[in-house]
Amino acid sequence: MGGGPVDGENADGSASTVHPGTDHPGTDESGSDQPGTESAGHVPVLVRRVDELLAPAIEAATRSGARDVVLVDATLGMGGHTLAMLSAHPALRVIGIDRDPQALRIAQRRLTEAGLSERVELVHAVYDRIGDVIAERVGGGRVQAILFDLGVSSVQLDEADRGFAYAHDAPLDMRMDPATGISAAEVINSYPGAELTRILREYGEERFARRIATALVAERARQPFTTSARLVELVRAAIPAATRRTGGNPAKRTFQALRIEVNDELGALQRAIPVALQHLSVAGRIVVMSYQSLEDRIVKRAIAPLTVSTTPLDLPVDLPGHDPEFAWLTRGAEIPNEYEIQANPRAASARLRAAQRIREATS
Ligand SMILES: C[S@@+](CC[C@H](N)C(=O)[O-])C[C@H]1O[C@@H](n2cnc3c(N)ncnc32)[C@H](O)[C@@H]1O
């Protein structure tokens, strides 16, 4: 549907440094430090490194005369990485997935303005449908490159009325697709206290999860929550006074936890990565950028077992079908260097992992 309308560690986990790849300030998780500029000035995180990692798979397929060389951008956002990859690789076609209809509209416009829309197909879907998306659009059902740039986009953070940013008073929504699922307000107002505690602890890594959940349950009985400012105030009041002065806005972790719950972010990622790996052709490459440790752990755990032999240790050679399917292209989770972080604050928490399929999957 080129240019058409949008349709329906290295095994040890150590971190190393990647090259600078972005050149301008972005938006940190507060979403409040940049004006609502939509796509203006948007430079994708670690874009040069992403190209460096994916290019060999794309170029090799192009050189071998493959008729269709495809990158699936599973988190299209404003299309920043897609734009860069299409510009760098004239034979490349991109299938761009996003669950956020607004992101798709912005990406479509930017791609059209850049004259690149003929080589893109945009798909409105949750990325855990990546297998069907590929099977329905790519002959042979295999692609050369897959990119996941996880989390929330600067558009989502900048659009105050979507409720992602704790710095703006806005309706507590946080759905990436505003047409499906339940809002953050519904989570806060209806979940049992124990469940709220779990979400805050697990998804927000919030030390004071129980205190905050207890305060939420008491406050919502007085009056249900509808907007973010009251939630921010409650979190601030619920945590010990000494910790209010450290580590940025105390509501940050609560907002992250709610966003993850509302969008089932970890569930979708857990389902998506193994399926994505199955749809990579031999020599195909996957790059995943995570912005918090829970995501990064899921990515590592999905890929790592495929990078080791399953031949019993006491046998001297790999049994057929037991040698590794994938090889890591990154040593541990790569992190941006100081220039990258200075240039783009959103990159500060990025953790990049990449792998290459080295043999067919065992059927
Ligand atoms: C960090 S942004 C991507 C930015 C993009 N790489 C760029 O350069 O513009 C993440 C995007 O992924 C989308 N997203 C997050 N989780 C998703 C999911 N489970 N399924 C589909 N899209 C998702 C969000 O709506 C958001 O637009």
Whether residues 295 and 150 fall in one domain:
yes
Which residue in 34, 323, 318 sits closest to 156, CA to CA? 34
The answer to whether residue 244 scores a pLDDT higher than 80 is no
48: left (phi over 0), alpha (psi -120 to 50) or beta: alpha
83 is a domain residue: yes
Residues 6+ apart with CB under 8 A from 115: none
Of 210, 234, 262, which residue constitutes the final position of a domain? 262
Asked if residue 39 belongs to a domain, the reply is: yes
Residues 306 and 251 in one domain: no
| Residue 41, pLDDT score | 56
193 and 309: one domain? no
- Confidence at residue 134, expressed as pLDDT on a 0 to 100 scale: 98
User: Does a structural domain hold residue 235?
Assistant: yes
Q: What pLDDT, on a 0 to 100 scale, did the predictor assign at position 343?
A: 75
Do 65 and 126 fall into the same domain? yes
Who's near 34: CB < 8 A, 6+ residues apart?
25, 26, 27, 154, 158
Q: What integer pLDDT is reported at residue 37 of this predicted model?
A: 41
Q: How confident is the model at residue 290 (pLDDT cuts 50, 70, 90)?
A: very high
212 with 287, same domain?
no
Q: What is the pLDDT of residues 169-193, one digit of tens each?
A: 999 999 999 999 999 999 999 999 9
HSE at residue 128, side-chain half, CA atoms within 13 A, is: 9
44 lines ligand 1 (CB under 6 A): yes
Beta bridge partners of 125: none
Residue 17's H or E segment, with its range, is strand 15-18
Average pLDDT over residues 295-309: 97
Position with higher pLDDT, 158 vs 192 = 192
Tell me the C-alpha distance between 49 and 55, whole Å: 10
Last residue of one domain, picked from the residues 262, 290, 305: 262
Assigned domain for 171 exists: no
Closest atom, ligand 1, to C-alpha of 127: 20
> What number is the average pLDDT over the span 79-98?
98
- Give the up-direction half-sphere exposure of residue 177: CA atoms within 13 A in the CB hemisphere: 18
pLDDT above 70 (res 29): no
Q: Is 79 touching ligand 1 by the criterion CB < 6 Å?
A: yes
Last residue of a domain, one of 214, 229, 262: 262
Q: Given this model, what pLDDT does residue 33 score?
A: 30
pLDDT tens digit sequence for 48-80? 999 999 999 999 999 999 999 999 999 999 999
Q: Is the CB of 127 under 6 A from ligand 1?
A: yes
Task: Please report the pLDDT score of residue 155 as a whole number.
Answer: 82
pLDDT tens track for 248-271: 889 999 999 999 999 999 999 999
In this predicted structure, the answer to whether residue 28 has a pLDDT above a threshold of 70 is: no
The candidate with the shortest Cα–Cα distance to 151, out of 349, 319, 4, 304, is 349
Provide DSSP, 175-207: -SSTTSS--HHHHHHHS-HHHHHHHHHHHH--T
Q: Is residue 218 part of a domain?
A: yes
Pick the atom of ligand 1 nearest to 107's CA: 9
Asked if pLDDT for residue 15 goes beyond 80, the answer is no
Q: Residue 126: which H helix or E strand, with range?
A: none
Predicted confidence at residue 296, as pLDDT, reads 98
Alpha carbon distance 172, 208 (integer Å): 21
Looking at every residue in the chain, the average pLDDT score rounds to 88
Q: What secondary structure does DSSP assign to 39-97, as a single string?
A: TTT---TTHHHHHHHHHHHHHHHHHTT-S-EEEEETT-TTSHHHHHHHHH-TTEEEEEE
Given a cut of 60, whether residue 284 has pLDDT beyond it is yes
Q: Considering its fold, how many domains does the chain have in total? A: 2
Helix 265-278 vs helix 293-303: crossing angle, to nearest 10: 30
- Cα separation, 86 vs 91, in Å, equals 8
Residue 81 sits in the same domain as residue 204: no
pLDDT attached to residue 43? 76
Q: How far apart are CA 340 and CA 347, in angstroms?
A: 7
What is the C-alpha to C-alpha distance for residues 257 and 184, in angstroms, rounded to an integer?
10
Q: What is the CATH number of the domain that holds 235?
A: 1.10.150.170
pLDDT confidence bin for 34, thresholds 50/70/90: very low
**Percent of the chain beyond pLDDT 90?**
72
Sole residue written with tokens 């897609």: 82
Say which residue, 35 or 147, is predicted with more confidence: 147
Please tell me the distance between residue 178's alpha carbon and the centre of ligand 1 in angstroms.
Answer: 14
Segment 290-301 mean pLDDT: 96
d(CA 130, CA 275): 7
Ligand 1 midpoint to CA 176 (Å): 9
Is 34 a pocket residue for ligand 1 (Cβ < 6 Å)?
no
Give me the amino acid identity at 47. V
Regarding whether 137 and 62 lie in a shared domain, the answer is yes
pLDDT over 80 (residue 19):
no
Name the least confident of 142-146, 159-163, 238-242.
159-163
Ligand 1 centre to CA of 156 (Å) is: 10
Ligand 1 pocket, residue 96 CB under 6 Å: no
Tokens standing for residue 151: 């989390």
Q: pLDDT value at position 363?
A: 66
Domain-located, residue 1: no
Own/partner long-range contacts of 168-171 (Cβ < 8 Å, ≥24 apart)? 168/31, 168/32, 168/228, 169/227, 169/228, 169/229, 170/227, 170/228, 171/226, 171/227, 171/228
pLDDT category of residue 25 using cuts at 50, 70 and 90: very low
Residue at 323: amino acid letter: D
- Which of the pair, 157 or 305, is modelled with greater confidence? 305
Phi, psi of 184 (to 5 degrees): -60, -35
Range of the domain at 189: 177-262
233 shares its domain with 269: no
Answer yes or no: do 225 and 321 share one domain: no
Residue 353 sits in the same domain as residue 270:
yes
More confident: 64 or 162: 64
For ligand 1, atom 13, the nearest C-alpha belongs to 75
Residues 258 and 270 in one domain: no
In a domain, 53, yes or no: yes
pTM for the whole structure: 0.89
Query: Mean pLDDT, to the nearest integer, of 115-127?
Result: 98
Q: Is residue 152 part of a domain?
A: yes
CATH of the domain at 336: 3.40.50.150
What's the CA dihedral at 183, 188, 194, 200 to 10 degrees? 80
* Residue 17 structure tokens: 């440094």
Between 17-31, 53-67, 184-198, 267-281, the lowest mean confidence (pLDDT) is in 17-31
Q: Is the pLDDT of residue 226 over 70?
A: yes
Q: Does 42 share its domain with 95?
A: yes
Ligand 1 center to 319 CA (angstroms): 40
Residue 154: predicted pLDDT: 84
